[in-house]
């Protein structure tokens, strides 16, 4: 069975982000064919097209990390009914300069956690719109708007509720299947 390299991006810059905790749970529950590497975004300067002719090291590192991945998993909070500015900034860096979009044909999935009842539903819709423009084939279902309950998620990714564990395990199986389908039809660019 093939192994797939998944780069994951956490939309929050906070070290103790609940979405960082969710990412640990997803990695623990993922099928063994998926290997994960975090793609950091916190050190990126604010994007400007003034950099397009001379990308800084942080922008080059981001693009190289995405290129090294077979697929991207976005784990994001919701800020003011949208995605965090740092995440949008990272996407802007990765999709530039014009004609060198790192997300083209790169399979992706979106998930996020919030203490609120609707999870990160609005942020995910905003992110999906951006990823559509970036030509990233997205896993459309199952959608996953996780209500974060501290008693359910351990600091190292343990999940104590069997229903939540089953749901997240299924989400990650579906994500693996999505990656396989996309890469079968759209082999990686060289």
User: pLDDT of 19-45, one tens digit each?
Assistant: 999 999 999 999 999 999 999 999 999
The CATH number linked to 167 is: 3.40.50.360
- Residue 109 covered by a domain: yes
- Residue 66 covered by a domain: yes
Q: How many domains does the chain have?
A: 1
Report the alpha-carbon distance of residue 84 to residue 13 in Å, rounded: 9
Q: Is the pTM of this model over 0.85?
A: yes
- Residue 190 covered by a domain: no
pLDDT band at 143 (very low <50, low <70, confident <90, very high): very high
Range of the domain at 148: 4-185
Report the DSSP beta bridge partners of residue 7: 37, 72
């Amino acid at each position: 069975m093939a192994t797939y390299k998944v780069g994951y991006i956490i939309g929050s810059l906070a070290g103790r982000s609940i979405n960082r905790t969710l990412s640990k749970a997803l990695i623990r529950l993922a099928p063994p064919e998926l290997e994960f590497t975090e793609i950091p975004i916190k050190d990126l300067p604010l994007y400007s097209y003034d950099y397009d002719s001379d990308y800084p090291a942080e922008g080059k590192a981001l693009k190289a990390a995405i290129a090294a991945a077979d697929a991207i998993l976005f784990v994001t909070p919701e800020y003011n009914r949208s995605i965090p500015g740092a995440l949008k900034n990272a996407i802007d860096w990765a999709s530039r300069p014009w004609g060198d979009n790192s997300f083209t044909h790169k399979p992706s999935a979106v998930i996020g956690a919030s203490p609120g009842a609707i999870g990160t539903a609005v942020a995910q819709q905003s992110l999906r719109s951006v990823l559509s423009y970036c030509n990233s084939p997205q896993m459309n279902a199952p959608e996953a708007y996780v209500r974060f309950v501290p008693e359910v998620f351990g600091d190292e990714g343990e999940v104590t509720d069997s229903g939540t564990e089953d749901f997240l395990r299924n989400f990650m199986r579906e994500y693996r299947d999505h990656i396989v389908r996309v890469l079968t039809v759209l082999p990686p660019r060289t």
